[in-house]
Amino acid sequence: MTTNVDVEPDTTAGQVVYPYVVHGVEPRDLRAEGNSRVVGDIREQRPDLVASVAENGLNPMVSVINVAPDPDGVLEVLVGFHRHAAAVAVTDKENPELVLDVLVHAPGTTRQDVLVAQGIENFHREGYTQAEEAGLYDQLALEGLDEDAIAHQLTRPVERVRAGRAVAASSRTHTASEALPDTDLLTLSQLAEFADDEAAHQALVDVLRDRPHNFEWTIGRLRRERDQRTALAEESQRLTELGYAIFDERDVPEDAVRLDELCSGPDTEPIDPVGHADCPGRAASVWVDRLLEVEITEYCLDHAAHGHRLLATVRAEEAEARLRADGVPIADPDADGMADLSALFADAGRPLTAEEHADCPGHAAHVEADPDRSTAEVRYVCTDYATHGHLMQTARDTQSELDAAWQAAERKRAAENNKAWRDAKTDRREWLTKYFTGWRKRKPAALPQRVHHWLALAPVLASDHLAEAAPAHRYACTLLGLAEPEDHRRDRHPIAVHLRKKTTTETQAVLIRLAQVIGACEQHWDRAYTSQADASWRRPTDGSRFYFELLEALGYPLSHVEQLVNQPDLDIEKWPHLAKPEGAT
């Protein structure tokens, strides 16, 4: 700042030439009013700065305080309020004799003028950080300039000024910018979007530090999840204002029953939500998918008090009435000697049928109602199978209330995780598209670690997926941006044609093979049955486990439901019914 500046006032034709340096100024002789930022307790805010001033003073070649005389001739601080406050603090304690050198500007010079001049100079200074640039824009805004004016004064794109302002406005993002000096302001400003969400903000900082190529994909997913939460909150608020009780699908009250499991009076048609609008017991759970489509499941609280009945109960009563009309006694399923016909031998190892057992004195039946499925199943039994000469095929299969509660909780878990699985598939494919973009220009160093090990494992651990995809490998062609295979001749397949080009490099060949493996595994999830729990995350195959290990090795950040493929215990905290009872092994 002090290049070509005289150390004493220079007068030419009676005029003082500004700026100039004045030596030996006592800190308390400077007026530090008009700073739009409150310095506060400098020892608490900047103990490092106070310690530095106490030990070294202020070197005007490094950190000069800019001043200008006011109409009374008192020097007012323009730039360097924190440094001035630190100097005053040092004179109070460590060094009462401390004096400063200050750079004096012409009367009427504003802090804004100095900041603009310093900024233009600093843009060309090596080592000028993104955090410093963001701070400059913020200081000029505090001086009353809007973003367009700042951009004009400094000849900077207004988008960059806006980005810097966003970074400076968030202390969390500003701190991160200092730790990420190579990250551009425009990227950092996106990070500032999540300044109020500590977990999301830290996740983005980690990505920028460790895997910056994943940043755009990660922030896209976080934005979508934020939009989902917003839509969920808005829809929940709307329903609350209409008189609905709102709860999470995982925390349904004991007295809540879905409307499609209820009927009114003798009618066995499920209750229509429109007809339930005036019921005092109306309640709902809300789900918002990644496309922001809202799914509402309606319930009734204390359905019996509001004149509703369980469909399963009504259907069970109807089934029992039919049994009585047919002359079949209704049995107590827990009575001694009772056995289900399906557990009894007929001949040649077959189980007994109801028709074959109809003439047995112990012939009876009971009805099992399943409220969760709104069904009623007739179970034919023998009331005393040993006395009537029947043989038991297997040990009696009983199911405790705890088992029923476990199954109900597991159905809820499957419903929620299946929805998450569908969302995760779309996110995963967006990431894969980005991963293979520009694959032709990759250098050998860009290949994943141990890629050849993974490629060699694929025919062993994922052979079924590869067999399903061969020979077309359609999804691999999509990932590589090649044409869809059309001709039945394999030598004309787009992958074969590309590999036979003399210009195809070894690195390209490895990436093509990687795309074939990934594409084959990914095609597997297009089959209709793989959208369900047992065919996806709950009972994964060797091929599935291999695939998600490979994706993680490539740098793909697995979602919670995808992590379950190889770490099923991760769901225990969310779903306590999965934990083993105390003492169980």
Q: What is the pLDDT of residue 405?
A: 79
Q: Tell me which of 271 and 45 has the higher pLDDT.
A: 271
Q: What is the pLDDT of residue 126?
A: 75
Neighbours of 144 (CB within 10 A): 10
CA–CA separation, 39 vs 195, rounded Å? 23
Q: Each residue of 60-94: pLDDT tens digit?
A: 777 788 888 988 889 988 888 889 999 999 999 99
Amino acid at 286: V
Overall pTM > 0.75:
no
Beta-bridge partners for 282? 300
CB 116 within 8 A of CB 106: no
Q: What is the pLDDT of residue 250?
A: 79
Q: Each residue of 538-552: pLDDT tens digit?
A: 999 999 999 999 999
For the chain, give the mean pLDDT: 88
Confidence of residue 123 (pLDDT cuts 50, 70, 90): confident
Query: Is residue 513 scored above 50 in pLDDT?
Result: yes
Beta-bridge partners for 102? 22, 65
Look at the chain and count its residues. Answer: 585
CB 432 within 8 A of CB 475: no
Confidence of residue 5 (pLDDT cuts 50, 70, 90): very low
The highest-confidence range among 165-179, 376-390, 545-559, by mean pLDDT, is: 545-559
Containing H/E element for 151?
helix 147-154
Spatial CA neighbour of 507 closest among 562, 463, 441: 441
Query: Is residue 430 scored above 80 in pLDDT?
Result: yes
Q: What is the pLDDT of residue 18?
A: 84
E-only strand ranges, 156-280: 245-246, 256-258, 262-264
User: Lowest mean pLDDT: which of 263-272, 334-343, 439-448?
Assistant: 263-272
CA–CA separation, 363 vs 77, rounded Å? 103
The highest-confidence range among 10-24, 59-73, 125-139, 497-511, by mean pLDDT, is: 497-511
Q: What mean pLDDT is predicted for residues 560-565?
A: 96
Confidence of residue 349 (pLDDT cuts 50, 70, 90): low
Q: What is the pLDDT of residue 194?
A: 95
Q: What mean pLDDT is predicted for residues 341-363?
A: 85
Q: What is the pLDDT of residue 1?
A: 39
Query: Is residue 8 scored above 60 in pLDDT?
Result: no
Q: In 492-566, which ranges are continuous DSSP H helix?
A: 494-499, 506-524, 542-554, 560-563
Beta-bridge partners for 309? 263
CA angle 111, 115, 120 (to 5 degrees): 155
Looking only at Cα atoms, what is the longest distance across the chain? Answer: 132
Please state, for a pLDDT cut of 90, what percent of the chain lies above it. Answer: 60
**55 token code pair:** 């030990």
**533 token code pair:** 């729990």
Q: Each residue of 289-324: pLDDT tens digit?
A: 988 999 999 999 999 999 999 999 999 999 999 999
Cβ contacts of residue 447 below 8 Å, gap of 6+?
Answer: 507, 510, 511
CA–CA separation, 96 vs 88, rounded Å? 9
**46 token code pair:** 């900047």
Burial class (CB within 10 angstroms; exposed 0-12, middle 13-18, buried 19+) of 3: exposed
Residues 218, 221, 222, 226, Cα dihedral to 10° = 170
